[in-house]
Amino acid sequence: MIDIAGVIKRYGSTAALDRFSARIERGEVFGLVGPNGAGKTTLIKVLATLTNPDGGRVTIAGHDVVTDAPRVRALVGYVPDVPGVYQDMRVEEFLDFFADAFHLRGPRRRAAVERALERAGLGPRRADFVEQLSLGLKQRLVLAKSLLHEPEVALLDEPGTGLDPLARIALRDLLKSLARDGVTVVISSHILSDLEDICDRVALIGAGTNVRDAEGQSVLVVRGERETTQSYEIEVLGDAEAAAGAVDRFSGARSLSRQGQRLLVTLAGGPEQAAALLRHLVGGGVLVTRFDPRGPDLEQRFKRAFGGEAT
Amino acid sequence: MNPMIRKELRQRMRERRAWILPSLYLIVLGSVVTLAYFTMLSASRAWWGNEPQGADVGTTLFVSVAYTQLAVLLIIAPVFSAGAITIEKEQRTLAALLTSLLSTREIWWGKFVAALLFQIFLLISAVPVLALAFAFGGVGWRELGIATLTTLVVAASLSAVGLISSAYFRRTIHATAVTYAVVIILTAVTGIAAFWLSGDHRERIPIPLHLNRIFTMSEGLFGRQQNLIRWGISLAAFLALGLASAVAAIAVMRRGGEQI
């Protein structure tokens, strides 16, 4: 669906993108993660046809973002990091203007506006001026606006920035529903837990280029891994080394690391495996004081790949 | 209808200046007409000892209003055009426009028409004031046509200049300052340059003078056949300036994503 091949973008002598490559499949939710200034926003702007690359090639559904920009725009919905809105327009007018700008006419336009109002949960506030909306609602309005023309690709640049937890949850649910509808989503975010929750794969980007993690991977499979493996944090009393040995002997254990009395274990399989391991440890005389499932360790992998840099 | 025009007009008419500007505009024109009328009346009584002819009064009022309109509209034109695109950058909506299916030409055209329509609205609102001159006589449709066409062409041209500034700069204040600088150059500097260049050959019209709006209006209003040709050349020069600004603005807007 999206093919990014060695894309280069320079601002003066600074390379914002330096031969970054990725391939994103149709219907995939693809995350971009990297420190500030890594080139995430520039890459999304290239995909949105807002800026032309200086080298490499980017295509969306086979259309080149430089030479076939109007076709690409028809396929893409773009949500910038700061929601740009016309404060002095009413919510419905705002959506109607952009529906018109996407060449939707007559009943199609009215239907698109109604759909967008419903999607953003702004139906009851259609007559309000945009300036009366909270930041979270403005973000939802901009997202709904970018989906008016039913794009095949949604590009979201830091969509969770500045949102309160409830607004972030609502945004995450909206993105999940998009993914269920088969929309390809490309999202950059500082909030790794959000990416973990909704992305199928996440690309590591640093200094405008692909960054590899400790296992040598530049694109991490998040969802696939989450479905087949699960990490657990175990705390024990007494001989932690003996406990680590017991875990090591457990056949379902994929990986094991130990920090003092804490063990971090990755198990292949579902909760039955976790129950079996707990039974195995207790049966072996290990004093278990805590046994907690952990989310996929994107944060750990991010720290390892970027040397502990914060996003 | 271009969606940009609809949006711009809707937003513009919601602004406070939508009623403040026409009110101020009519107050200025009304004051000028009153001042011109009483000045003419007292001058006529003082110098010739009699009341002025109706046609003379009509001509004086018309010329006063025509030049005042030209001057005031050119003060107002940059207010609308120079901020038209920078405001989209400042409120972070330019990206949404550039990633929609609107072409940069459509966006430019929407901004241009909206800026010009408001000036046309001001021109129309001044019709009753101009009608006063018609009531006195001495002025015909020809003069009205020349004055209106000159004002429109110059306003359109300077609106286009405002839009290129607006496309180029990120901040409204910078775009507005540069547009006013261009207005000043086209008025004062061309006049001075023309005077300087003409030297001893007063019958020859130096090229810079063709981009002087006062010269353009004067050639049209007070001309013989030869002056009308100069008026035409002057209008063509303003149209060329506007067209060049439009082409440049659209080219800059195509790279507008770099500024977001």
Report the side by side order of strands in the sheet with A253-259: A253-259, A262-268, A229-237, A287-294
Q: Which residues of A touch B92 (CB under 8 A)?
A: 80, 82-84
- Pick the residue from chain B with its C-alpha nearest to A53: B258
Q: Residue A2, SS3?
A: strand
Chain B CB within 8 Å of residue A85 CB: yes
As a three-state string, the secondary structure of A5-66 is EEEEEEECCEEEEEEEEEEECCCCEEEEECCCCCCHHHHHHHHCCCCCCCEEEEEECCEECC
Q: What is the mean pLDDT of chain A?
A: 85
C-alpha torsion B47→B52→B53→B54, nearest 10? 150
| Structure confidence at residue A311 (pLDDT) | 42
Q: Which residue, A170, A66, A84, A194, is CA-closest to A130?
A: A84
Chain B CB within 8 Å of residue A93 CB: yes
Smallest Cα distance from A300 to chain B, Å = 33
| Structure confidence at residue A136 (pLDDT) | 82
Q: Which residues of B touch A78 (CB under 8 A)?
A: 95-96, 99
| Structure confidence at residue B248 (pLDDT) | 94
Interface test with B, best of A10, A66, A76, A98 (most B CBs within 10 A): A98
**Are residues B96 and A84, on separate chains, in Cβ contact within 8 Å?**
yes
Mean pLDDT, range A131-144, rounded to an integer: 88
Within 13 A of A124's CA, how many CA atoms are on the CB side? Answer: 2
Quote the ipTM score: 0.83
| Structure confidence at residue B177 (pLDDT) | 94
| Structure confidence at residue A74 (pLDDT) | 93
Q: Return the minimum-mean-pLDDT range out of A3-17, A105-119, A198-212, A285-299.
A: A285-299
| Structure confidence at residue B88 (pLDDT) | 92
B24: tokens are 């101020």
Q: Do A51 and A8 touch, CB atoms closer than 8 A?
A: no
**Are residues B99 and A145, on separate chains, in Cβ contact within 8 Å?**
no
Give the DSSP letter of residue B52: P
Q: Which residues of B touch A101 (CB under 8 A)?
A: 3-4, 97, 100-102
Q: Who has greater pLDDT, A135 or A64? A: A64
Question: Could you tell me how far CA A217 lies from the centroid of its own chain?
Answer: 17
Distance CA B71, CA A273 (A): 84
Distance CA B159, CA B153 (A): 10
Interface test with B, best of A65, A88, A186 (most B CBs within 10 A): A88
Chain B CB within 8 Å of residue A74 CB: yes
As a three-state string, the secondary structure of B201-238 is CCCCCCHHHHHCHHHHHHHHHCCCHHHHHHHHHHHHHH
Q: Do A142 and A83 touch, CB atoms closer than 8 A?
A: yes
Read off the pLDDT of residues B34-80 as tens digits, 9 standing for 90 and up.
Answer: 999 899 888 888 887 777 787 888 888 888 988 898 888 888 888 88
- With tokens 């430019």, the residue in question is B108
- Pick the residue from chain B with its C-alpha nearest to A83: B92
Chain B CB within 8 Å of residue A87 CB: yes
Helices (H), chain A: 40-47, 69-75, 91-101, 106-120, 135-146, 165-180, 192-198, 223-228, 240-249, 271-283, 298-306
Mean pLDDT, range A257-275, rounded to an integer: 85
**Are residues A86 and B7, on separate chains, in Cβ contact within 8 Å?**
yes
| Structure confidence at residue A310 (pLDDT) | 41
Does the pLDDT of residue A308 top 60, yes or no?
no
Q: Which residues of A touch B93 (CB under 8 A)?
A: 84-86
| Structure confidence at residue B201 (pLDDT) | 54
Handedness of CA A240, A243, A249, A254 (dihedral sign): negative
Chain B CB within 8 Å of residue A50 CB: yes
Distance CA A203, CA A205 (A): 6
Q: Which residues of B touch A83 (CB under 8 A)?
A: 92
**Are residues B6 and A100, on separate chains, in Cβ contact within 8 Å?**
yes
Q: Who has greater pLDDT, A75 or A180? A: A75
Q: Which residues of A touch B257 (CB under 8 A)?
A: 45, 48-51
Chain B CB within 8 Å of residue A69 CB: no
**Are residues B3 and A101, on separate chains, in Cβ contact within 8 Å?**
yes
pTM reported for the whole predicted model? 0.80
Pairing state of beta strands A184-188 and A153-157? parallel
**Are residues B3 and A84, on separate chains, in Cβ contact within 8 Å?**
no
Residue ranges of chain B whose pLDDT lies below 50: none
| Structure confidence at residue A177 (pLDDT) | 83
CA distances from A147 to A144, A152, B127 (A): 5, 9, 47
| Structure confidence at residue B204 (pLDDT) | 65
User: How many Cβ contacts (< 8 angstroms) between chains A and B?
Assistant: 72
